[in-house]
Structure 1
Amino acid sequence: MPLLALGGRLTYLGVVLAVTALRLAGCWLVVVARRRRGEFPDAAWVIGVQQIYRAGPTAVKVAQLLSTRLDLLPARVCQALSTLHDDAPPMPVDVARRLAADRLGQPLEALFRAFVPVPEASGSIACVYRAELLDGTVVAVKVRRPGIGATIAADLRLFRFGASMIANTRLMRGLPTHAAVAQLSAAIADQLDFTREAAALTSVADAVDEFAEVRVPRPHPRLADPARTGAGVLVMEFVPGLVRRTPADLGAPVAARAVESSLDAVYKMLFVDGLVHCDLHPGNLYFFPDGSVCVVDAGFVVALPPAAQRAFTEFFFRMGTGNEARCADLVLSTVELPEGFDDAGFRRELGALVRSVTGSRADQFELLDFSVRLFDIQRRFGLYADPQFVFPLLGLLVLEGAIREYHPTADFQGLALPHLMRAMFAPTPR
């Protein structure tokens, strides 16, 4: 992005920040005048969320990713940020058609019988269109927005600069600010990379292929080549009927079956294949009236290194069996110990946490509560785990938030056990 444009972006973000400060100050004066200071935090988060939308797509993406980072932020902050949705106005029809043709390398008429210009989905990074190939196959065409790469790159430079300015302040001292910013920046940049997403879709589809009731749209074998995905267009299978269905729409038995199918597939991906879909919110996970499931959008899929996969798998297994000493060993193996670390105190508190969930009934175990308590213990002892250990837990948390209302008594630990056993006792590759 040219320096002039970068300066303009910085000016715009400065205006958004100034307006945010003024609105927060005004809100504070109102609650003080009304003697309702206790209402300020909730009102402040409403203002903050509104201003994040005004700051643009990068700010929304950063906030969405931070909403899952219970290892870094308090649960209340994460909950407030989780209300952000990545919706954006669709691209003009002529722009979408021109971009699709240019990036596919042929006129649309040479490839499609029909190309529906009204998008099936419209996000800040891309829009997804329904099209019909000349042979009658219906496909989804994901088109990256023009100029979005330069905008996000500029915003991320400003984001990193701002983070470096506050990293050593009293508020941020002790937090792994630089590492967290690098992780968030990489995750957002990866969502611009359609070649990477096509490969991730294939990996996820292969991993869940044994589950007949779970579907993942695969990239088109001919039109999703690296030249086209690299240009910013991804052609893949089209899955009809992707609408948000409530538990009442499905009925309790169907909803329960869909949830258990989802957990079965996700646990197999995680423990056996080392794949984490970190973004299984309701917009990426769909339930159908027959109890089947569709998983979409592989823009934020993490492939765990074997050592991290093994460590997380064993932690989850040992947690279920009550081996608190080994759980502590595994957590400590993923962190750098601060000077003066209280090993005995940490093991005592982690042991109490593990004992509190071991043997819990299905309706008693809540992964969110467990994770909040685990991350709170880590923070109090000055520990920040390696992201390769944290991502699986965060991915499961996003999934739990998406499915808990559909099957409140789902046995999260019990459904994991077959896949844990398969992974723990599989022969080690030579």
Structure 2
Amino acid sequence: MSLRTLHKNQPHTENNSPSSESEDAYIEELKRQAKKHREGRRKSPYKIDPLAPYKGVIPRFFLINRHVIGLLLGGLLAFRNSLPRDRKRGLRSFWLRFFALLVTPFVKKELRNELFPVQLRRRLEMLGPTYIKLGQVLSLREDILPKIVTEELKNLLDRLPEVPFEVMEELIRFNLSDPLEEVFTYIDPDALGSASIGQTHVAGLFNGEKVVIKVVKPGIRDTILTDINLLTLLGYFLEIIIPQYQPQRLISEFCDFTAKEVDLVNEADNAETFQVNFADYPGVVFPKIYREYSNENMLVMELLEGYKPGDSRVEYLTETNRQKLIYNGAAGIIRMLFKDGFFHADLHPGNLFILPEGKVGFIDLGMVGRFEEKTRRQMLYYFHALVTGDIEGAARYLTAMASVGKGGNLQAFRRGVTDLLRRFFQQTKTGRFSMGKMIVESLGIGARHRVFFPVEMTLMVKALITFESVGQMLDPKLDVPGVSEQHVAKIFEEQFSPRALTRELMRGAPEFIDMAVRLPKIFADSMRYLDERVNNPRNENPLEGLKSAIITGSCIVGGVIAIVMNGPVILWLLLFGAGFLFYLFGK
């Protein structure tokens, strides 16, 4: 039986087109990988070599080094180009213009006239998937980077050229335990999506269900693991130069997230965890995972048949459906963050689906964030204070989550945040102030005062900003605090209900019972000790020996001073001798 492939016009997310050079380089790399794969067809198409990430470190290091130097030289050209016209004449800014002229041949021709943020974005794209993802994370760090840089990094392409279908088909065959023709009735050769790590195709099962096949691209795992090794070394280096920004911790967390994304078993686990968490809420949907066809290289999951928030069909939604979508979307994001402490950490409109009956679907679940129980509670209290207008409470809870760096000023940070919150609540009614933007600005105030927060805070902001932007697409007059307050209030009711409190008490029951069992013995031992101290008091003088110890120490210190000041030998010998005698017989 031969595989039947159907060419369908699948809706693609609108994304930025890659630059011609980076696309050509990427296609050449794919051809190289495909050729290598065909030559080793009898072996695994995935390179099973634990040393592979380390073998590529040196050439990758020189490639990255070349781009870093190119970026620095390009920054010089960008600064020269930004000078006012009158400063480019005569001898004004002569040395700057002279050095810029010297380095011009060493900067790529198509980047010479670009602004520095554009050069940074383009070079991240040229460096590949790891650095694209790093740039996407940095685009959220408005608390550290200039806004012009973060805005440009938001334009990083998230759709890369497709791997040829014949290569993808061979990878799919390798990852299946059964013949491909016995599993799928068809596979669409046109990719549904082609991101930095994986590529997706729509397929059909013999039971009539439509699925999405997500496959890790060939060579990507080794490249990412090599980049992670280099980034780890970079983190150690930056920790020495700019420790106030905690670069080692930030890079370590980013590397951890990225390494997990390469293993699709993690995404399958995440999807099933979300399904369990939302089993009682049908308005939020996550794709079903077909474990029998999935592994670390390939994931087969349910196709959510809907459309993205930017689709033209949104215009034809009824007001009732719009409000359902807003309500369910808010419920999904707020429950993830503040009830479960397990949330989608790469949330953007491209990862959301509008489904029938006002339901909301979430996809691309490889990157998740987790709040520890204490942090989750503090975040819940902080967000509740925000949506209810409690300025002092919001500032207090945010401060409680902070860690103060060297030279940090926690009080100045708290005053700055309080002033920011007052401005926020004054502008809420006009709709000119974003809650996500307000949290980002709070983190920015923290950076100025050397006060830092967990990386999960940044990922949480991304989720909130996505909720705000998509919600305002559906309803331009959306009252974000008002909608959020409804769901936060429900979480509070559930968390502090008699049943929940009883459950919390029962969680600590073993320790409580153990203490109750041991209490009589502890009480008896305490009474016995007290009786002994009262009826048989000790007559020892606690200060006994203190006088001789002071004299001994004084003699030794005096002897050291006599030596340093070139005093008579007989003097320091007598002092050391006296100190020794008091030590032996002073008691």
TM-score range, shorter chain: 0.7 to 0.9
Structure 2 CA distance for partners of 1:324 and 1:9, relative to 1, 3 Å = same
One-letter code of the match for 1:366? S
Q: Which is greater in Rg? A: 2
**Comparing 361-370 and 195-204, the one that deviates more:** 361-370
Gaps of 5+ in 1: none
* Distance in 2 (alpha carbons) for counterparts of 1:401 and 1:285: 12
1:409 to 449, 452, 477: 477
Task: Identify the residue that residue 419 of structure 2 maps to in structure 1.
Answer: 352
Question: Tell me, what secondary structure is at the counterpart of 1:32?
Answer: coil
- Confirm or deny that 1:128 pairs with 2:189: no
Deviation string for 1:134-160 (max 9, x for gaps)? 222211111111221111011121122
TM-score of the two chains, using structure 1 as the length reference: 0.87
- Confirm or deny that 1:61 pairs with 2:133: yes
* Distance in 2 (alpha carbons) for counterparts of 1:168 and 1:323: 40
Given that 1:250 and 1:289 are in contact with CA atoms closer than 8 Å, whether structure 2 keeps it comes out as: no
- Confirm or deny that 1:180 pairs with 2:250: yes
Question: Tell me, what secondary structure is at the counterpart of 1:415?
Answer: helix
One-letter code of the match for 1:149? R
Task: Identify the residue that residue 368 of structure 1 maps to in structure 2.
Answer: 436
1:229 to 295, 305, 316: 295
Deviation at 1:374, TM superposition (A): 0.7
One-letter code of the match for 1:183? E
Deviation at 1:201, TM superposition (A): 1.3
2:79 to 19, 24, 28: 28
Query: How many residue pairs are counted as aligned between the two chains?
Result: 421
Question: Tell me, what secondary structure is at the counterpart of 1:167?
Answer: helix
Deviation at 1:241, TM superposition (A): 4.3
Aligned counterparts, 1:12-411, within 5 A: 12-32=63-83, 34=85, 43-169=115-241, 172-220=242-290, 222-223=292-293, 228-230=294-296, 232-243=297-308, 244-246=310-312, 249-250=315-316, 253=319, 255=322, 257-287=324-354, 291-338=358-405, 341-358=408-425, 360-361=428-429, 363-411=431-479
Deviation at 1:272, TM superposition (A): 2.0
Deviation at 1:109, TM superposition (A): 0.8
One-letter code of the match for 1:129? H
Structure 2 CA distance for partners of 1:387 and 1:107, relative to 1, 3 Å = same
Task: Identify the residue that residue 572 of structure 2 maps to in structure 1.
Answer: none
Structure 2 CA distance for partners of 1:208 and 1:41, relative to 1, 3 Å = farther
Question: Tell me, what secondary structure is at the counterpart of 1:174?
Answer: helix
Deviation at 1:365, TM superposition (A): 4.1
Deviation string for 1:137-194 (max 9, x for gaps)? 211111111221111011121122233333333xx35111111111111121121121
One-letter code of the match for 1:336? S
Given that 2:408 and 2:451 are in contact with CA atoms closer than 8 Å, whether structure 1 keeps it comes out as: no
Given that 2:191 and 2:199 are in contact with CA atoms closer than 8 Å, whether structure 1 keeps it comes out as: yes
Name the Cα RMSD after superposition.
Answer: 2.9
Question: Tell me, what secondary structure is at the counterpart of 1:106?
Answer: coil
Structure 2 CA distance for partners of 1:71 and 1:219, relative to 1, 3 Å = farther
Deviation at 1:273, TM superposition (A): 2.0
Given that 1:115 and 1:131 are in contact with CA atoms closer than 8 Å, whether structure 2 keeps it comes out as: yes
Question: Tell me, what secondary structure is at the counterpart of 1:142?
Answer: strand
Q: Percent identity?
A: 24
* Higher RCO structure, 1 or 2 (CA under 8 Å, sep 6+): 1
Deviation string for 1:68-114 (max 9, x for gaps)? 23344344332221111221122222221121121122221121111
**Comparing 173-182 and 63-72, the one that deviates more:** 63-72
One-letter code of the match for 1:409? K
TM-score of the two chains, using structure 2 as the length reference: 0.65
Structure 2 CA distance for partners of 1:291 and 1:41, relative to 1, 3 Å = farther
Task: Identify the residue that residue 58 of structure 2 maps to in structure 1.
Answer: 7
Question: Tell me, what secondary structure is at the counterpart of 2:130?
Answer: helix
- Confirm or deny that 1:419 pairs with 2:487: yes
Higher helix fraction (1 or 2): 2
* Distance in 2 (alpha carbons) for counterparts of 1:80 and 1:314: 34
* Distance in 2 (alpha carbons) for counterparts of 1:119 and 1:297: 15
* Distance in 2 (alpha carbons) for counterparts of 1:127 and 1:414: 39
* Distance in 1 (alpha carbons) for counterparts of 2:57 and 2:413: 46
Query: Which 4+ residue blocks in structure 1 deviate beyond 6 angstroms?
Result: none
Deviation at 1:310, TM superposition (A): 0.7
Structure 2 CA distance for partners of 1:42 and 1:309, relative to 1, 3 Å = farther
Given that 1:139 and 1:236 are in contact with CA atoms closer than 8 Å, whether structure 2 keeps it comes out as: yes
**Comparing 204-213 and 326-335, the one that deviates more:** 204-213
Question: Tell me, what secondary structure is at the counterpart of 1:229?
Answer: coil
Question: Tell me, what secondary structure is at the counterpart of 1:68?
Answer: coil
Given that 2:193 and 2:200 are in contact with CA atoms closer than 8 Å, whether structure 1 keeps it comes out as: yes
* Distance in 2 (alpha carbons) for counterparts of 1:277 and 1:149: 22
Structure 2 CA distance for partners of 1:82 and 1:191, relative to 1, 3 Å = same
One-letter code of the match for 1:193? D
Deviation string for 1:205-255 (max 9, x for gaps)? 3434445443321212543xxxx323x111110123445415874468355
* Distance in 2 (alpha carbons) for counterparts of 1:112 and 1:248: 32
